Amino acid sequence: MGSNPSSAPCLLCDLRPSMSGLHLVKRGREQKKLEQQRDFTVASPAEFVTRFGGNRVIEKVLIANNGIAAVKCMRSIRRWAYEMFRNERAIRFVVMVTPEDLKANAEYIKMADHYVPVPGGPNNNNYANVELIVDISKRIPVQAVWAGWGHASENPKLPELLHKNGIAFLGRENVCGVAVWELCVYVFSSNAGVDNHF
């Protein structure tokens, strides 16, 4: 009679906590490498910056976007904060909210720590309005802005004005006013024989 290896208890396994519950994780070379890399404990963003020689502590971020983009950003940063600080709320989020978003009871509003009402209508009134984003960033204040994709994220004035005001821009850099991502899409699609109309 042979034993079924899948039903045998795993002597080289651990239960690891995560945001979605306990997970069975095999111990081995890869796990040991990860544990060796994570042999430090950092309690806060300020301690993280001090320990690794940074010069800017980011504890509050303005999400200058809405919908699924905002949700994905907050989930990703909260997951990272939980793994790094064992506190998913170590980084706080401020979101911009239009009357339409409020009426729809948008998910990203529920996830935020604070929201700022902004005008509704076309995105040049709100999420694409660089001056409004910078003004909110200074008033709250926040240490960083994440603009996501679309809206103001592709406007080279946004990172420029934020930098002038000592606020970090979390996003892709622009080259000559053309987003790097769009340039990559253009090059790859051209090589694939796709007509581009930029």
Task: Please report the pLDDT score of residue 149 as a whole number.
Answer: 87
Asked if residue 11 is part of any domain, the answer here is no
CA distance 106 to 3: 52
Asked if residue 8 is part of any domain, the answer here is no
Going by their DSSP bridges, the two strands 174-175 and 168-170 should be labelled as: unpaired
pLDDT by residue (tens digit) across 141-177? Answer: 999 999 998 889 889 999 999 999 999 999 876 544 5
The total domain count for the chain is 1
User: What is the token pair recorded at 43?
Assistant: 């309690």
- With beta carbons less than 8 A apart as the criterion, state whether 137 and 167 touch: yes
pLDDT by residue (tens digit) across 92-143? Answer: 999 999 999 999 999 999 999 999 999 999 999 999 999 999 999 999 999 9
Asked if residue 10 is part of any domain, the answer here is no
Asked if residue 198 is part of any domain, the answer here is no
Q: Residue 71 sits in a domain of what CATH number?
A: 3.40.50.20
Asked if residue 5 is part of any domain, the answer here is no
Asked if residue 9 is part of any domain, the answer here is no
DSSP H or E stretch at residue 87? none
Whether the predicted model's global pTM rises above the 0.85 cut:
no
Q: Which domain holds residue 111?
A: 16-191
Q: Of 102, 95, 111, 108, which is closest to residue 62 (Cα–Cα)?
A: 95
Q: Of 18, 88, 152, which is closest to residue 160 (Cα–Cα)?
A: 152
Asked if residue 52 is part of any domain, the answer here is yes
Asked if residue 196 is part of any domain, the answer here is no
CA distance 180 to 177: 9
pLDDT by residue (tens digit) across 57-89? Answer: 999 999 999 999 999 999 999 999 998 899 999
